[in-house]
A = this chain, B = another copy of it.
C-alpha cells in the first residue's frame, strides 16, 4: 500500500494544481497535499521536477509527474473509475485541442491583460474575448464540456469559473461577460455547484491580495508581448 502512495506538490493558488486535486477527488483517490513555496523553491521540488522546477507535481509510487495536463491524462489512464477523457480517440483529440486552446488563447492572454496596461492590455483582451466566443460555442447545449459529468476539459477550463473573475477584478477589466456568454455563465454555475469543486477552491480574499501583488510585480513584464 505505502509504495502506491499519492502526493500532490502544489501552491495554494495555482489553478494548474487545483486541476490535479479535483481529478483525484472525482476519482476518490486519497492523496497527501504538500504545499510548495514557489518563491523559495524546496529541495523536494527541485528533486521531483529538476527540468522545469514548477508545480504541480504528482508523485505516484515514488514516481514524479509534472505538467497538469500530462498529470490529468496519467490519472485517467491509471485509475479507471470516473473517466475524465471520452471513450473514442476522435473525441479525446478534440478535448486535448480545446484544453490547449484555453491555455494559449484565454489563460495566458487573461494573465497578460491583468498585469499590463495600454496597447498591450487591449491586445491581450482582444485575444481573450475572441477565445471566449469559441468556448461559448463549445459549451452551448451541454451541462458540462464532458456531457452530464465533469470531464477533463471542465477541469482544464475550470479556472474560468473562479480565477478569471479575480483576474478581472485585479485588472479592472471584463472578459467573461455573462450577457454575451450565457452558456458559459450557466456552465460556471454548474461547475461551481459540484461538491468536489466548491469544497476545493482557494479563499477569494487571499487570491485578491496575491494577484494584486503579482500584478504590481509583473506590470512592466509584458511590454510589446503581442508583437512576438
Contacts and interface: CB of A to CB of B under 8 A. Distances in A.
A77 B92 CA distance: 10
Assembly stoichiometry (copies)? 2
A225 interface: yes
A78 B88 CA distance: 9
Secondary structure at chain A's binding surface: helix, strand, loop or mixed?
A: helix
Contacts of A60: 90
Contacts of A93: 65, 70-71, 73-74
Contact of A134 (B51, B66, B222): B51
A99 B179 CA distance: 40
Interface of A: 51-52, 60, 63, 65-67, 70-71, 73-74, 77-78, 89-90, 92-94, 96-97, 100-101, 134, 221-225, 227-228
Contact of A89 (B51, B74, B225): B74
Contacts of A97: 51, 65-67, 70
Contact of A224 (B52, B92, B101, B223): B223
Nearest to A228: B225
Nearest to A220: B227
Given A65-B93, A223-B224, A225-B228, 8 more contacts: A65-B94, A67-B96, A67-B100, A70-B97, A73-B92, A74-B92, A74-B93, A221-B228
A74 B92 CA distance: 8
